[in-house]
Amino acid sequence: MTGEPLLTARGLVKRYGRVTALDNADFDLMPNEILAVIGDNGAGKSTLIKAISGAITPDEGTIKLMGQDVRFTSPLEARAAGIETVYQNLALSPALSIADNMFLGREIRKKGPLGQWFRMLDRNAMRTVARQKLSELGLMTIQNIDQAVETLSGGQRQGVAVARAAAFGSRVVILDEPTAALGVKESRRVLELMLDVKRRGLPIVLISHNMPHVFEVADRIHIHRLGKRIAVVRPKEISMSDAVAIMTGAMKPPEHSLAA
Amino acid sequence: MTSFNSRLKTALFGCAALIALGAAPAMAQEVSACLITKTDTNPFFVKMKEGATAKAGELGVTLKAYAGKIDGDSESQVAAIESCIADGAKGILLTASDTKGIVPAVKKARDAGILVIALDTPLEPADAADATFATDNLLAGKLIGEWAAKTLGDSAKDAKIAFLNLTPSQPTVDVLRNQGFMMGFGIDTKDANVIGDEDDARIVGHDVTNGNEEGGRKAMENLLQKDPGVNVVHTINEPAAAGAYEALKAVGMEKNVLIVSVDGGCPGVKNVEAGVIGATSQQYPLLMAALGIEAIKKFAETGEKPAPTEGKAFFDTGVSLVTDKPAEGVQSISVKEGMDKCWG
Amino acid sequence: MSGAQEFEKVLDQSDTSVASFDHHSERTWIQSAQHYLHGNPAAVPLIVLILSIAGFGLIVGDKFFSAFSLTLILQQVAIVGIVGAAQTLVILTAGIDLSVGAIMVLSSVVMGKFVFHYGVPVPLAILCGLAVGTLCGFINGFLVARIKLPPFIVTLGTWQIFLAANFLYSANETVRAQDIEATAPLLQFFGSNFRIGTAVFTFGVIAMVLLVALLWYVLNHTAWGRHVYAIGDDPDAAELSGVRTERMLISVYTLSGLICALAGWALIGRIGSVSPTAGQFANIESITAVVIGGISLFGGRGSIMGMMFGALIVGVFSLGLRLVGTDPQWTYLLIGVLIIAAVAIDQWIRKVSK
């Protein structure tokens, strides 16, 4: 990767009582890449992601977005800065429609007095944008943009969530275990989606346990162990079993790995 | 809400005094008494407490007041009786929420040598208490029934009567006032313990009000739908009567209909003055409580228990018909006099 | 599928339709009905309402099926309808408000007291009553949203508190209708009526209909309304999607308090007087209307229109059965059956996604 990193973190520390979840952890995301974050359970990778997405505030350390220091105290602030997260539980409201879900928390109001005085939503505009965003990602086989999310299959829901993140994430999209709950074919669809999002110029942070998926789509792999980053590797230069060995501590990371 | 029942039970309770118990020597020992009411929000009970407190102060009796949280809350009343026993009270004045269910607790108190007087609401059986001080609700009903019949004169035989009762479970107060009205008006009550088994064509129907304005209005509206020709309305109490009046007013019928009621609360008596209610039977909660305190004092000093009114199973604290349009042959007092004696 | 895994190669030959968003082409008519009801939650109570009006019309005849009787039912349910609107907002957020009736009565007592004891000008007294109701709602909202106590517990507590405050403050004294008429007729504003033929409409009825219509608009066509649904549906998802759930919940309970206070004003019009013992069952009656109206007690589903139909169904049954001449207990029995049926239907409709 060339150029300046888009998002960096240095020396992040987060303690929960006597447990240190983040122990001087670093993080770098380059523009227009898919960066996978892997690590054993308890390695602190989800704490790292929460720190970046604003769900927690680290005790120590700095985060920089495009060279600027940022400090998020809530997911809303991270979102405002252009970092969109698709949570493992998707954060969709099952009874609301696809369009309503895509615009939840950032609805479009009608222009003129109807919107200003009566706060009326511009349903048509929201439908149009929702349909457009879904089509861009090749999801426009959805027949009815007004159907409730709960009537969709797991993969379709994931599609809506990713489309929402891609539509509003101006800088970074974070995907937390996007394929964990999906079947083989649906997982494939979501991987295609990720590549689509990347082609549109948005970098993605992918947290996953699924090594084949990670090795298939990631440009670089951030390996997290014992609360810190111990290596960054390229899938083309390392085997899956070596990556797992580094992750579990069975093998020392290669010398040059952090420079990558 | 109302309360206040009494029930004609033939059982006369033995007045043979249990001299041994409670006949404490008339030392300067302090006499304490308990007042346990159904609730402490209903003006009827508020007045009762007022009467008891005033009399207790006058006679040097220590009074502790307890109440259920809502009408029907018997658990709180049982707990209150237990507290009074533990407290060494000489007597308990009780308006029971559950007239049957409270009996074992009352027995415990009496076994402990406490005089238990049922106020306003007789227990079942009535002799479970040492005495009952209450309004004669049957008479209260009869008075308004007679008054209505006399006031209508000849047209009484073509009257169309709506009955606005208390609750679907037909508590005794409801039955006594309702059936008393019929007796006074000259309607065959069939079984005098049941509302609704009559076949007199003058009865338009019965409905329930929960004893408040809202229920009174709704019940009146329903019965007007059944027969818009209603010209006499019996109501269980004055709030229900006020609600019925609103319903009649809404269809412009308030001038043609005679409303009668029972209670004698101050807003009710004012409504008699204003012509909303034709006549109401007034009862006297203050007197009930004051007499109760006197009886406890006397019992503490002499061991003597109060006796029932002659010919009745309970001590009748009286009822008077309040109206400014007296009817011949029906004894009544004026609104002015009613205002002097009203409660709430 | 350039980068497909080895084991996934076979997918190229397999049916690719799974990932596309199929549109349920082969549904049975029962499934269609289920989907229709899923999208139109007020349809069931509307159908029940129409059937019950038709049924009683056939059994009782003109006495029931007349403009006068049908508008009378509207008058009888107006208060429950207004309180039910407040209850709907709270239940849509997966909460419950047991204190609605107490807030209503307390507000009406404040209005009466301020006029007749302190001599406050009537419009100001009404504003004070509305303010007290709003404050009560805010207290509920604060305890639910900020202190994070369960709504059932919070409102169970405040129900007692507001009711006791009402009794202590009023000393259980009623302000008579005649006094109000003479000095403060504005308090009885919602009792005034107008006629169209034999149909009678009180301002209380108009207020209920307008309020429900307004809230229907707000719930369906504003961001605030969509957020009410989102919170009831899944509060965590709503929060992560950027809904400020805490602020939303406080605003919902506060608005509910204001609506209850409005119901308190309408109540004075309905019963003529200011009575501290009125509205004792308003909480249960409003929850009944909400449930029969097809609004899920688990939050996030249902239409406020359904609540109004639910209240009317109860009104139709109670007047209809009185005119048939049955024991009042039958009304309660049938309403009980309706409640259980409504919840069963709700559960069935929810299964649409499975």
Does C6 reside within a domain?
no
pLDDT at B30 (0 to 100):
78
Closest residue to B222, CB basis, from C171, C319, C329: C319
Query: What is the pLDDT at residue B14?
Result: 33
User: Taking 70 as the threshold, does the pLDDT of residue C10 lie above it?
Assistant: no
- C149/chain B closest Cα distance in angstroms: 24
Binned at pLDDT 50, 70 and 90, residue A2 comes out as low
Q: How far is CA B20 from CA B24, B30, B107, B113, in A?
A: 9, 19, 17, 9
In chain A, domain spans = 7-92+170-259
Q: Are the beta carbons of A185 and C14 separated by less than 8 Å?
A: yes
Pairing of strands A60-65, A68-70: antiparallel
Burial class (CB in 10 A: 0-12, 13-18, 19+), B196: middle
Structure confidence by residue, pLDDT tens digits, A8-22: 999 999 998 888 889
pLDDT at C9: 59
User: How many percent of chain A have pLDDT more than 70?
Assistant: 94
* pLDDT of B175 above 70: yes
Query: What does the pLDDT read at residue C13?
Result: 54
Q: Is residue C169 assigned to a domain?
A: yes
In whole angstroms, what separates CA B268 from the centre of its chain?
15
Confidence of residue B21 (pLDDT cuts 50, 70, 90): very low
Domain membership flag for residue C29:
no
Which chain C residue shows the shortest CA-CA distance from A116?
A: C222
Distance from CA of C167 to the nearest CA of B (A): 6
- What local confidence, expressed as pLDDT, does residue B42 receive? 77
Check CB contact under 8 Å for A188 and C8. yes
pLDDT bin (cut points 50, 70, 90) of residue C240 is: confident
CB B4 within 8 Å of CB B211:
no
Q: Cβ–Cβ of A217/C3 closer than 8 Å?
A: yes
Residues of B in contact with C172 (CB under 8 A): 41-43, 46, 344
For A96-120, the DSSP string reads SBHHHHHTTTSPPBPSHHHHHHH--
> Is A104 in contact with C16 (Cβ distance < 8 A)?
no
Q: Do B214 and C172 touch (CB under 8 A)?
A: no
Percentage of chain B beyond pLDDT 90 is 63
Q: Is residue C10 part of a domain?
A: no
Verify cis geometry, omega within 30 degrees of 0, for the bond prior to C123: no
The Cα angle at residue B254 between residues B238 and B234, in degrees rounded to 5: 40
> Which pLDDT band, with edges at 50, 70 and 90, does B130 fall under?
very high
Look at residue B139 in the predicted model and tell me its pLDDT: 95
The answer as to whether C8 is a domain residue is: no
Could you report the per-residue pLDDT of A198-233, keeping only the tens digit for each? 888 899 999 988 899 999 999 999 999 988 898 899
The answer to whether position C336 is within a domain reads: yes
pLDDT at A1: 46
Residues of A in Cβ contact (< 8 Å) with C23: 143-144
Which of B287-291, C14-18, C140-144, C236-240 shows the highest mean pLDDT? C140-144
CATH of A7-92+170-259 given 3.90.79.10, 3.40.50.720, 3.40.50.300, 3.10.290.10: 3.40.50.300
Is 90 exceeded by the pLDDT of residue C121? yes
Q: What is the DSSP letter of C293?
A: T
Specify the range with the lowest mean pLDDT, choosing from B86-100, B126-140, B315-329, C25-39: C25-39
Which position has the higher pLDDT, C316 or A117?
Answer: C316
Predicted pLDDT at B153:
92
pLDDT tens digit string along B187-236? 999 999 889 899 999 999 999 998 889 999 999 999 999 999 999 999 99
CA distance B112 to chain C (A): 34
Taking only the tens place, the pLDDT of each residue in C78-117 is 999 999 999 999 999 999 999 999 999 999 999 999 999 9
End-to-end CA distance of chain A: 8
CATH number of residue C79's parent domain: 1.10.3470
Q: Taking 90 as the threshold, does the pLDDT of residue C159 lie above it?
A: yes
Least CB-CB distance to C241: which of A104, A118, A184?
A104
> B314 is written with which tokens?
């309970």
Task: State the pLDDT at residue C5.
Answer: 60
Q: What is the pTM of this model?
A: 0.80
pLDDT at A37 exceeding the cut of 60:
yes
Of A90, A107, A216, the CB nearest to C223: A107
Categorize the per-residue pLDDT at C281 as very low, low, confident or very high, splitting at 50, 70 and 90: confident
Given pLDDT bands bounded at 50, 70 and 90, which one contains residue A108? confident
Is A in contact with C (3 or more beta carbon pairs below 8 Å)? yes
Q: Look up the domain containing C259 and give its range.
A: 41-349
User: Mean pLDDT over residues B66-91, rounded?
Assistant: 85
Query: Is residue C24 in some structural domain?
Result: no
Q: Assign B9 a pLDDT band (cuts: 50, 70, 90).
A: very low
pLDDT at residue C4 in the model: 53
The predicted structure's pLDDT at residue C241: 82
Mutate to test the interface with A, among C10, C20, C240 (most CBs of A within 10 A): C240
Q: Chain A partners of C300 at a C-beta cutoff of 8 Å? A: 93-95
The pLDDT of residue C2: 44
For residues A145-166, average pLDDT: 83
Q: CA-CA-CA-CA torsion for C117, C122, C126, C127, nearest 10 degrees?
A: -110
| Count of CB pairs separated by less than 8 Å, B with C | 99
How far CA B176 is from CA of B184, C14, C56, C304, in Å, comes to 12, 83, 34, 44
pLDDT at residue B27 in the model: 42
Angle at C329 between CA C325 and CA C332, to 5 degrees: 115
Residue C14 predicted with pLDDT over 70: no
With a pLDDT cut of 70, the percent of chain B lying above it is: 91
DSSP class of residue B40?
Answer: S
Whether the per-residue pLDDT at B20 is higher than 70: the answer is no
Please state the rounded mean pLDDT for residues C236-265.
93
pLDDT on residue B18: 33
pLDDT for residue B111 is more than 80: yes
* Tally of domains within chain C: 1
> What is the DSSP pairing of strand A220-225 with strand A228-233?
antiparallel
Query: Does the beta-carbon distance from A156 to C230 stay under 8 Å?
Result: no
Q: Which of C93, C241, C248 to mutate against chain A (most A CBs within 10 Å)?
A: C241
pLDDT value for C22:
44
Residue C257 has pLDDT above 90, yes or no: yes
Interface with C, mutate which of A188, A206, A210 (most C CBs under 10 A): A188
* Contact at CB, A121 and C223, closer than 8 angstroms: yes
Of B7-16, B155-164, C134-143, C272-281, the least confident: B7-16
User: For residue A149, what pLDDT band results from cuts at 50, 70 and 90?
Assistant: confident
Residue C66 pLDDT > 50, yes or no?
Answer: yes
Average pLDDT over residues C242-258: 94
B163 versus C322: the higher-pLDDT residue is B163
Taking CA A184 as the corner, what is the angle to CA A178 and CA A188, rounded to the nearest 5 degrees? 60
pLDDT per position as a tens digit, A47-83: 898 899 888 899 999 999 998 899 888 888 888 888 9
Confidence band of B294 (pLDDT split at 50, 70, 90): very high
Give the pLDDT score at B260: 97
ipTM: 0.79
Above 50 in pLDDT, residue B10?
A: no
Contact between B260 and B181 under an 8 Å Cβ cutoff? The reply is yes
What average pLDDT does chain B have? Answer: 86
Report whether pLDDT(C171) > 50. Answer: yes
